[in-house]
Structure 1
Amino acid sequence: MKRLAVGPITTPEYIEWWGRRINDNISGPSQGDNQPTQKHLQVVPSELEIIKQDFKRRNVELEKKIEQMEEEKMNLRLDIDI
């Protein structure tokens, strides 16, 4: 059985197709989106900002717990007086 070894196709049509195929993978600016690139960038908070936000959140939670405990304390005092 004879086999015929065929080399790569290098016709002008193939070269043109290959160039379009490669360039199709590169994303270019869309015509419908004229906003600057900076608008699309998301601001990432620093580690200090994250710690501040966490502190504020925990502080609010603790203040609510304190208010609840003070309310329970008042209710217990009222029960004792009766």
Structure 2
Amino acid sequence: MNLRLDMDVQNLETEKLRKGKNKAKEDLDSLKTNYKRLHCSIKTVELGKTSEQRCQEI
């Protein structure tokens, strides 16, 4: 009986960890997508600047 309860607890903990891992993976994918969009936006904005404006920023 005790072994069965221990197995059930371990199975629940394992499932909880899997769900957490999946959530973290989804969050990471979302962050990567947002980073790519931001990077593209920054490139687009910089394309409209003249070389003098870029030099002044530096």
TM-score range relative to shorter protein: 0.5 to 0.7
Structure 1: tracts of 5 or more residues without a match: 1-43
Structure 2: tracts of 5 or more residues without a match: 45-58
**Counterpart pick for 1:65 among 13, 22, 27:** 27
Question: What is the match of residue 47 of structure 1?
Answer: 9
Matched residue pairs, number? Answer: 40
Structure number with larger C-alpha Rg: 1
Question: What is the match of residue 20 of structure 1?
Answer: none
Question: What is the match of residue 34 of structure 1?
Answer: none
Aligned partner of 1:81: which letter?
K
Please state how far the C-alpha of 1:46 moved relative to its aligned partner. Answer: 1.3
Aligned partner of 1:58: which letter?
G
Higher helix share: 2
Identical-residue share of aligned pairs (%): 5
Runs of 4 or more consecutive aligned structure 1 residues displaced over 3 Å after TM superposition: none
What are the within-5 Å matches in structure 2 for residues 27-42 of structure 1? none
Cα-Cα RMSD: 1.8
| Structure 2: distance between partners of 1:49 and 1:79 | 45
| Structure 1: distance between partners of 2:27 and 2:9 | 27
**Counterpart pick for 1:75 among 23, 37, 57:** 37
TM-score by length of 1: 0.45
